[in-house]
Amino acid sequence: MNQTAVKLHSKIRSKKATVAVVGMGYVGLPVVMAFIKKGFKGIGVDLDLGRITKLRQGRSYVEDVPSSEVARAIRSKRFWPTESYEDLGEADIIIICVPTPLNRVKDPDLSFILRAAEEIRNCLRPGQLIILESTTYPGTTEEVVLPALERSGLKVGKDFFLCFSPERIDPGNKQFPFTKIPKVVGGVTAECTRLAASIYGQIIKQIIPVTSARTAEMTKLLENTFRIVNIGLVNELAQVAHALEINIWEAIEAASTKPFGYMPFFPGPGIGGHCIGIDPIYLSWKARLVGHEIDFIELARRINARMPRFVTEQAGHLLNERSRKAVKGSRILVLGVSYKKDVGDVRESPALEVLEHLKELGAKISYHDPYVPELKNEHYQLRSEPLTPANLKKKDLVIVTTGHSKVNYAQVARHAPLVFDTRNVKTSAFNSKNVVRL
């Protein structure tokens, strides 16, 4: 172990190291707050001045981080939110949590990672540990981030240290918060891995070191590819079950009683968020570069992408059969527009596509979501409507696309003339005759 690594290890153990996180979103903010709660000083970097202003005022915009926690960190002067990369020179550990979207032709867009790496290079100094958490294809840490940093003249494993550690945050999950989920770490060198394990070990009980950054990158994509494939399978089976007049939810529940060899996955209006909808495509793209096609990913992606239109078609059939009405002119409320329960994140949410399809068919669309007060895009501009008995009675159909714990579904079933439940909401009220499940 060289002296640079020894000094950094000492700073980490004594909690004198300053931890900076680039990207104050659903991943970055919980990460920096976790370190601050354990006694470290934290720097939060984000180019969105609106976010930085809220944080400096002690206000949180992420459901998993209470505003009181942010305010306490600001008052103690242990947290410095900033829009300037220049402040990274003061940090000992820099964690990159920036977006990794797809571009217009569905190829990986690493521009946010590259921008962060170049900005870090400008203030890179000996003794810093850089950790990439943003989900990406295997090889990004060594092929994209490392060359950018080494253009500073400093050498990895000697002057600075570089590691990949996949984010595993599940927004809104109270059972498994960030600090209770085992952390995988894979460094460019063995010393990089040890240092990353050391810093994450300060806030997370179980650390899983792997032999390389590439392995750590693959781990995250394997997890989410497993999910997209199995969700695609059950979504296709849901459509078959509908044609065969079989209750797919009952079949899943029965299959779940087998104590081995089976894990339940559930159908829905489609997939949303970054993890399942986008991450596997990074792996598929990288595989094609080395001469391989991952057919399962592409097939699952196509099946899942069809679900919003399938839901819209079934909604039309329901209106026609139960109410003798067409979609055109019908008042349809979409209940829940975030991509998962109890968060305000609408990234890749299938509910948005359902709204678009309904609008194309001439429906009078509206929505309710306690976490999303407003929706605005090129197709529509809406505000969340209240779920009052009077408002529900005015609707021809309510489509449940996200199940939120804050929603009174018994009231929905009692007052809405017709409900199409695509999420199998667990309430006895939804066993009424006016509720039809996917």
Is 275 known to be catalytic? yes
C-beta of residue 77 within 8 angstroms of C-beta of residue 40:
no
Strand order in the sheet with 79-82: 79-82, 41-45, 18-22, 93-96, 129-132, 161-164, 183-187, 207-209
- 363-365-370 Cα angle (round to 5): 160
d(CA 437, CA 162): 49
Q: Is 21 helix (H, G, I), strand (E, B) or coil?
A: strand
At residue 383, the 3 state secondary structure works out as: strand
**Residue 286: half-sphere exposure toward Cβ, Cα within 13 Å:** 18
Question: For the stretch 13-31, what's the b/e string if a residue is b when 16 or more beta carbons lie within 10 angstroms of its beta carbon?
Answer: eeeebbbbbbbbbbbbbbb
Contacts of 176 (CB under 8 A, 6+ apart): 170
Annotated catalytic residue within 97, 163, 192, 275 = 275
CB 342 within 8 A of CB 380: no
Beta bridge partners of 437: 421
Q: What is the DSSP letter of 275?
A: T
Residues 6+ apart with CB under 8 A from 178: 30, 31, 34, 64, 168, 169, 204
Point out the residues that are catalytic. Answer: 275
